Structure 1
Amino acid sequence: MKCVSNWIGKSVYGIISLSLGVISLTMMVTAIWGIWISAHEKTLFIKALLDAIGLIVIGMAVFDVSKFLLEEEVFHSGGTKSPEKQRATLIKFFLIIAIAISLESLVFIFDAGKQDISTLIYPTFLLIAAVFVVIGLGVYQKLTRDERKEV
């Protein structure tokens, strides 16, 4: 029975992972298509580039999550993970999130700076949130590393 449950779980995670991969690739293709259209129509090329950067960054983050799910939930060899493996997995996942937030906030800052300087506060808060994610990740690493040395 446990074998059937594991197979169903791996199948569901595999479908989710493949779906996320297809969605992320579609986002990236859409971004490139937007640049292509904008270049040929000669309209708002810089806006199309900034939009494409945003879509590609989000697509990259979604693809990384897809790959992460595929590696950890589908191809994982089974059994319980050691605390060190769990820690490395969690750090990798939060690093993906931190990179995505940082890149997206930079795109928003450039976009807001070109349109209306008064809207620059919102992407700045997003960048500050990215900094807090990185600080939190550093604190987590420090706390778990000290705990491992004591045990």
Structure 2
Amino acid sequence: MKPFFEKLIAISFIATACLLFLTAWSLMAWSIWNLWNVLRFGKSLSETLLSTISSVVIAMAVIEVVRYIIEEEIYLPRTQITPGQKEITGGVVKIYVIIIISVGLEGLVFLFKAGLENISLLPYPAVIILASVLALVGLGIYQKMTK
């Protein structure tokens, strides 16, 4: 009975990874399509470029999560020796870094959008960038304390 559930869980992870991967690629394709339409019909290029960057950053973060799911949950069989603290921490740190980078880039994109549209919107992206910097500092402190 246990092998059946292990296969079922592996199939679930594969299905989840495939769905996330297709969604990320669809988001990138949609962004490129929007950019193409703007280039063709001559609308607001700067706003579309910022939107495209934002969408691609999100898509790449999702693809990185998919890679992590595939590496950790599909390629490594459950019958292997249980991972040590170093491997577990490394995986968590990897996901955390992906989140920090994504949040920082989104903050930069929002900063440029706010600068183009309405200068009074600048505090929101500034807080997002500050949050990503604080998260990075927290990660550095965590790694320093655990090593």
Q: Is this a same-fold pair by TM over 0.5?
A: yes
Instruction: Specify which of 89, 102, 105 is matched with residue 103 of structure 1.
Output: 105
Q: How does 1:84-123 map to 2 (within 5 A)?
A: 84-123=86-125
Deviations 1:37-68 (A, max 9, x none): 00000011111111101100111111111111
Judge which range, 72-81 or 40-49, deviates more: 72-81
**C-alpha distance in 2, partners of 1:75/1:10?**
10
Report the counterpart of residue 60 of structure 2 in structure 1.
60
Tell me the equivalent position of 1:136: 138
> Matches of 2:73 and 2:27 in 1, distance apart?
24
Aligned to 1:148: none
TM-score (norm 1): 0.92
Deviation of the 1:91 alpha carbon: 0.9
Q: Which residue is equivalent to 1:149?
A: none
Q: Which amino acid letter does the alignment assign opposite residue 117 of structure 2?
A: Q
Query: What is the aligned residue count?
Result: 145
Letter in 1 for 2:126: T
Give ranges in structure 1 of 5+ residues lacking alignment. Answer: 146-151
Q: Which moved more, 1:9-18 or 1:73-82?
A: 73-82
TM, length-normalised to structure 2: 0.95
Aligned-pair CA distance for 1:143: 1.8
Deviations 1:45-97 (A, max 9, x none): 11111110110011111111111111111111324111111111111110111
Aligned amino acid, residue 120 of structure 1: L
Q: Distance in 2 between matches of 1:113 and 1:89?
A: 36
The superposition leaves residues 90-115 of structure 1 with CA deviations (integer Å, 9 ceiling, x where unpaired) of 11110111111111110010011110
Alpha-carbon deviation of 1:140? 1.6
- 1:19 corresponds to: 19
Residue 7 of structure 2: aligned partner: 7
In 2, Cα distance between equivalents of 1:24 and 1:81: 29
Q: In 1, distance between residues paired with 2:121 and 2:143?
A: 35
- Give % identity: 32
